Chains A and B, each alone.
Chain A
């Protein structure tokens, strides 16, 4: 039962509201304006005094898309889990690391040593990818069952902190298992070299990364939108209690959600190893943080959003330093690529707090 506000009250409330938005609004507008001016000024300066050839600009874009593909695949895991549980699973970077570490140590290394890898490159890659996905899924399911499930009803902060704990646990678990050294991932002969494309040469590994990512994303979309399990995931995301009343096994569905995200991360791990050719127990941390950023950028909770966010973030990191900073005369601009990526995140969130593709979350969900 709400009291009808007297006109006086309404007026003063309105005034208070106006003042509030005014101060915040002005700060936000100044911030927007400053960034816009810097970006535009930097871009114009960079293009006027252009030290790069068209080909090099194209290269920057391709590097960005390839890097963004990996962010996109990892970001899927964050966004799926957030969509279903409203929980930020900071251990997701470790799911990414665990699969490819295991596959490198037990498969890629020995396969390269015996020559099997280059004799049957496609079969080997398939096996490596499947094992990587399997280990990532296993780690994810174990984490979910042991660390997260008992906390399903706990306040939101509790599983968040648990996730950070789980992240440390898995890092040091794999460090104990495989050692703290950097492990080289062998180079595949068929993926050595470049393919000419639009006047530039794209690395074959980058082509593979981009194509595999697109296939995985389309497949995932099909899985979520068209299959029965996908429908169950969406139903649980809408409302767990009602989903349970409709005969959906909520626990099983949550586990499947984690497994799906982890499988994507497992593939991303193999792509990462193909491009960078080394793995390490700590390798999941930074891509994990970046992918989380990508998920927020695209709109957390939205699957296409995570993909778009990943590609955008990769592009900002790759093109940004050369385009925005070099024109401003900032030395060593590439050291500041994270600054650009996160400034862009803030920038996008000021204009669209829900992210590029995200929907405004309802009061209940937020």
Chain B
């Protein structure tokens, strides 16, 4: 019995050694630290997206996905391979980000990810993607924690969206200097994006000489905001209320703020999570005159014009939210890097090293995108951040500052 075992083991070993040596001399050996993605001749280069494409924030993610699709259309092919998109939903929640991440890393043919839409989904997904050796570029995560090595940063995470350290400060400057208010309150919903932004706003506002009368929070999914608004009124009442939350909660806050005693005259403001057609519907008439901070979309240049033309052509509408250009740039950064690091066999087979992909993306410097000239730092902040403030006037967002 024992002898049989030894003989068998020896045979298996021999077979293994033989098969390893058996290939031709030209056989590709992946030397990348965390592995390679291989594409046979004619097979598409596959990227994934993980954006919010369901629920009340659908516009935010769909708009970014359109940006990716247009980037694919403009690029047509990479080194003779077509490009294919695997679109996943981040659900704008931690669970959604986790699920989308797991699904993506179970597919070895995916080279990189554009996503997520929401920072709340980005935190778990960044972990999943990083652990599996993949790489992701987010077009719209803005929470400061995601690129903070002491908090939620993981290697393999980058973003083309601004860091909210910039946005929160811009809103505080606008409120103090343009509107001339001196007291403010900030409300978040516990999501990393909303909490981070509200925190930066509050800190900057106090630093610049204003007074924060209340810094409080609601729950995601809450509908009755009157109690929390009454507390805000009792604490101040503030002249200015900043609630950088999402469409559903933002709609309730906007409509109910006007009905709470003491807040009738308060100026209301929200952020880029609420710049969409759906958010306009959600705030309704109560949103008239309300302010929104967000990425400055006054882009120019030939690429942007052809981008908008393609957008109109393909989807029959003007952009429905604000992060289409950031998604377009994210996709192009990925395509450029695939082109740069891919090793091609004579028959056209592509080999893309995963660590090489990461190194290339983090080394991005002076990349000319629609959103500006992008240069990534070692923690994945690539944006050329420009923030503007718009106001709802006559049922439309009108850019008013700077």
Contact = CB atoms under 8 A, between A and B. Distances in A.
B251 A180 contact: no
Interface stretch (A5-13, A125-133, A237-245, A331-339): A331-339
A334 B281 contact: no
Most buried by A among B54, B234, B251: B234
B58 A180 contact: yes
Contacts of B216: 331-335
Contacts of B259: 194, 203
B230 A332 contact: no
B221 A60 contact: no
A51 B234 contact: yes
Contacts of A319: 227
B251 A182 contact: yes
Nearest to B277: A181
A335 B228 CA distance: 9
Nearest to A339: B219
A277 interface: yes
Interface stretch (A216-224, A226-234, A278-286): A278-286
B234 A53 contact: yes
Interface residues of A, number: 42
A187 interface: yes
Interface in A50-71: 51-53, 55-56, 59-60, 63-64, 67
B285 interface: yes
B283 to A, nearest CB: 9
Interface string B223-252: 110111011011100000000000110011
Most buried by B among A56, A278, A282: A278
Nearest to B252: A276
Interface string B256-267: 000111000000
Nearest to B56: A182
B372 interface: no
Contacts of A280: 56, 248
Contact of A181 (B56, B189, B230): B56
Given A181-B278, A277-B255, A286 B221 contact: yes
Contact of B227 (A51, A201, A318): A318
Interface in B55-97: 55-56, 58
Contacts of A277: 255, 284
Nearest to B226: A63
B287 to A, nearest CB: 11
B219 A337 contact: yes
Contacts of A181: 56, 58, 278, 281
A184 interface: yes
A63 B230 CA distance: 10
Contacts of B282: 182, 184, 278
A187 B227 contact: no
B215 A63 contact: no
A334 B234 contact: no
Given A182-B56, A321-B231, 5 more contacts: A55-B261, A182-B282, A275-B224, A334-B227, A334-B228
Cβ-closest 4 pairs across A and B: A332-B217, A334-B228, A335-B217, A332-B216
